[in-house]
Structure 1
Amino acid sequence: MDPADSAAGTVPAGRPAGTPLPPGDFGVVLATLRARQGWSVREFARRANVSEGQICNLESGLRNPTPAVAAACDAAFGTGGELVELAGAGRRAARVEDVVEAGPVVAGYERVLWDLKDIGRSTGPRFVTASMKSITHILTDAGPHAVGEQRAEIWLLASRFAEYTGWMAQEAGNPAEALRWTNLAVRWGAQGGDETVAAYALVRKAFIAQHRGDTDAAIGFADRAAGHPAATPVIRAHAARRAAQGHARRGDAVACREALERFSSHAAEVIGHRTPHWGPRVENGNPRLIEASCMLSLRRFELAADLFAAEHRPAAPADSNSQARFAVRQATALAGAGRLDGACQIVEATLPVIKRIDSATVRAELGRFVEQARTRRASTGQLALIEASADLASG
């Protein structure tokens, strides 16, 4: 394949002059650049005129790039020959016995992890999962060949990648895969000398149980997380939040309120605390939005709608996933309160975001909106919107 032909018909993505390539071997760099552009494997393959199978093999490290394929990828990204140089120099990390100084590996991939999390929060799992798995493979191969504290750092970083890969699996609607990656995160965290991931994994399992409708299991996991000897204030705050939601779905308002108070108490301990932790940043959360969500589950629709109206717009979460989730919850509360006009306006504005991020958890929220909206008298246009929402919610 001629490199010039491979790039025909594509528009190079380009990067600002002087911007370095992300760290990693050819496959990881490729996957990271693709994720940053928001391209699916299919879209990138089309732009580079390379098969989807080749892209997957390159990103996973199963194949080395030929000069022609490297040139095609370079043209698609507009990297000015840097990908060709990277491929030609043979700077792949597959030979883990060559890893002597682990510090740059950890520092580089920590930055990549933050980038991928930002992308995942805004675009959903399909643009980051391949990158996460590829980097995790590199780290777990490198871990046994590092020594001392550096070995622990690599295993701990692999654990963080595995935990987020599990979250992306859940967002993709695969709870079994989410549990598998969560369990790997616990194992690798222990190898890195960090037992807190075992406590946080119970929070993740509570969330998974919640989304499969097993409220008792969700509360049980949340309580175990809160009582885990390695639980930090962050983890206890996350556990209290899950317990509050579980009690709300069970209809126990008193237990829900007690859990919300525990959440606020633990969250207050976190403010200004800069040590590494698991899960979303509690300090970025909004207790009133969490309370509103619980009131919704308790079917106190008017109160929930008022709380969302007071808190959602001025203190909305920063990422697209959370914005969509809370927007749909607000719409569900309005529909439950009989205010279908406002509910449909919110959903209509949010549907394009839901389609883009393709999140199983957000689609589940949308399904709850549909259930409430269908109990109300609706106009022809509203009925069409409700049915479109039902189609999207079903995946």
Structure 2
Amino acid sequence: MFGAELRRRRQDAGMTLEDLNRRVHFSKSHLSKVETGAKKPSQDLVRACDTALGADGELAALAPGTTETRAAQAEPPTADQEVWLMSMTPDGETGFAGMDRRTALSLSALTVLGAGLGGATGTSGSSQRGHTDAELALDSFRAQLGELRTMGQHMAPSMVFPIAIVQTNALRQLARTAPPAQRPAVLRLAARFAEYTGWMAQESGSDRWAQWWTDTAVSLAGAGGDAEMGEYALVRRALLTMYAHDGPQTVALAQRAQRAPETSLRVLGLAAQQEAQGHALVGDLRSCERSLERSREHLAADEVENKSGRDGDPEVLGSRHVGDPVGVTRGWCLVDLGRVEEAAELLDQECASLSQNAIRARTRFGVRRALAHALSGEVEQSCTIAIELLTAAPRMDSATVRLDLRRLHQTLARYHGHRSVRELSPRLLTALSTV
């Protein structure tokens, strides 16, 4: 159905295969095979054709499904895992899990962990002393959360993930012995750690663990009287479906988060941002732009209302390392909408403004920037960007970055005779085998 409709719309528009080739950067022979049904179209070709023919998602809706599956991680400990770490099992029980020495060494980056646990010993001499210990422990753990999120920008998520588990569990233990007045704050902070643990699980490649840790965050936050995490969990679920290329479900989850009563401005903005990405996946440009504008309004209002508490706040939901999240999201969406030339120009601007310290964010949006240039036929520029990024991508070991790296490799493979592509290809394959 897609091939037949593509041919009908192309001919109605007065385009030859060569005309369409110049717009979508796929060869005439490939386009001809897609039109006759001899070849299955890729998502990139589907979006590019939909945009080139002004179909507003109607052509894309006829394409066969190309949803990518995500492999689960969580393998049992092996013989070389000589270090043991306390962890939390899916049923909420605590235990120990094996860890290799490299991951264990990363724990040394958080030297204040012991200080934070001191408040949970329950050995204080008086109720006033116990209250002081709990406050000191909270301050220590808040500092650790900030350090952990900074580490997440520089280290593989598989190394950060077990550290986050330990800290979440320690806060759960602290909540049991903290004075009643302090307990809600401890549980709310534990929820922030659990939510970040879920993000690191997703980055490590396990959607199942990502969802479980997000649910755990909601439970901890609810026990601490914080309803905001419940709405934000819908945004996190929408992110999972977005990476699974399920546009309609992404939109539905993000809209549910925005309909929840008393949703904070911050969550409203993040949910609208996620909704825009869902609309982009189904080719709905107008709804995407409206959602992005709504997101910008909510996030700007949140900055005004909570300015004193946002700068450097480790407990803030969502990324702290992107100056203009709506700008980079718009660039991301334009790629999925097939408006790749516009996406490349915008992502060039937005990536240039990202902090040098935000390595994970620079890698994630940089790979999509390289993809936008490749899809628009700017092969040399795409290869130049990719070479700059490949030194960081393997170290990031990111499952979400891997999706766009794979897309980039498939796109550049169409230009296998290009000198820069031949030089880049071995490095790109190495990165795909190590991230």
Which range, TM-score by smaller chain? 0.7 to 0.9
Q: Find the counterpart in structure 1 of residue 333 from structure 2.
A: 294
1:278 lines up with 2:317 in the alignment: yes
Instruction: Say which SS state the counterpart of residue 402 (structure 2) adopts.
Output: helix
What is the CA–CA distance in structure 2 between the aligned matches of 1:327 and 1:219, rounded to whole Å? Answer: 25
Partner of 2:275: 243
Q: Which residue of 2 aligns with 1:252?
A: 284
1:347 aligned residue: 386
Q: CA deviation at 1:171?
A: 0.4
What's the CA shift string for 1:215-240, capped at 9, x where partnerless? 21111111111122242111111111
1:215 aligns with 2:273: no
CA separation in 2, counterparts of 1:387 and 1:224? 44
Q: Is the partner of 1:284 in helix, strand or coil?
A: coil
**In structure 2, how many angstroms separate the alpha carbons of the residues matched to 1:316 and 1:95?**
37
Supply the distance in 1 between the matched residues of 2:265 and 2:120 (Cα, whole angstroms): 40
**Helix, strand or coil for the counterpart of 1:352?**
coil
Give the structure 1 partner of residue 218 of structure 2: 186
Matches within 5 A, 1:1-395: 53-57=81-85, 96-98=121-123, 100-101=130-131, 102-272=134-304, 273=306, 274-275=308-309, 277-281=316-320, 284-315=323-354, 318-376=357-415, 378-386=417-425, 388-390=427-429, 392-393=431-432, 395=435
User: How big is the alpha-carbon RMSD for the aligned residues of Structure 1 and Structure 2?
Assistant: 3.2
Match for 2:260: what amino acid? H
Match of 1:69 in 2: none
Conserved 8 A contact 1:237-1:282: no
Classify the secondary structure of the residue corresponding to 1:56: strand
Alpha-carbon distance, 1:52 to partner: 6.2
State whether residues 246 and 281 of structure 2, in contact with CA within 8 Å, keep that contact through their aligned partners in structure 1: no
Q: Specify the SS of the correspondent of 2:226.
A: coil
Shift of 1:309: 2.4
Give the match for residue 68 of structure 1: none
Following TM superposition, by how much is the alpha carbon of 1:311 offset from its aligned partner in structure 2, in angstroms? 3.1
- Give, as a single letter, the amino acid of the residue that structure 1 aligns with 2:84: C
Identity rate of aligned residues, in percent?
A: 28
* 5+ residue gaps, structure 2: 1-78, 89-93, 97-103, 125-129, 310-314
Q: Is the 8 A contact 1:160 1:185 kept in 2?
A: yes
Whichever residue aligns with residue 55 of structure 1, its letter is V
Q: Deviations over 1:270-292 (max 9, x none)?
A: 22424453222497224332221
In 1, Cα distance between equivalents of 2:375 and 2:386: 14
Q: CA deviation at 1:392?
A: 3.2
CA contact (8 A) 2:154 2:359 kept: yes
Deviation at 1:106, TM superposition (A): 0.9
Q: Structure 1 pair 303/145, CA: closer, same or farther in 2 (3 Å)?
A: same
- The superposition leaves residues 74-104 of structure 1 with CA deviations (integer Å, 9 ceiling, x where unpaired) of 9x979xxx99xx99xx997597544733111
Helix, strand or coil for the counterpart of 1:122? coil
Is 2:363–2:392's contact at 8 Å kept on the other side of the alignment? yes
Mark the runs of 5 or more structure 1 residues left unpaired by the alignment: 1-50, 64-72
CA deviation profile, 1:7-54 (whole Å, cap 9, x unmatched) = xxxxxxxxxxxxxxxxxxxxxxxxxxxxxxxxxxxxxxxxxxxx9655
Amino acid at match of 2:421: Q
AA partner of residue 242 (structure 1) = Q
Aligned length: 328
Question: Which residue identity lines up with residue 316 of structure 2 in the other structure?
Answer: H
If asked which structure has higher relative contact order (CA below 8 Å, sep 6+), I would say 2
Label 1:204 to 1:62 Cα distance change in 2 as closer, same or farther (>3 A): closer
Q: Which amino acid aligns with 1:268?
A: A
The one-character-per-residue Cα deviations of 1:161-188 (angstroms, maximum 9, x if unpaired) are 1000000000000000000000000000
Say whether the 8 Å CA contact 1:94–1:138 is kept in structure 2. no
What TM-score do you get using the length of structure 1 for normalisation? Answer: 0.75
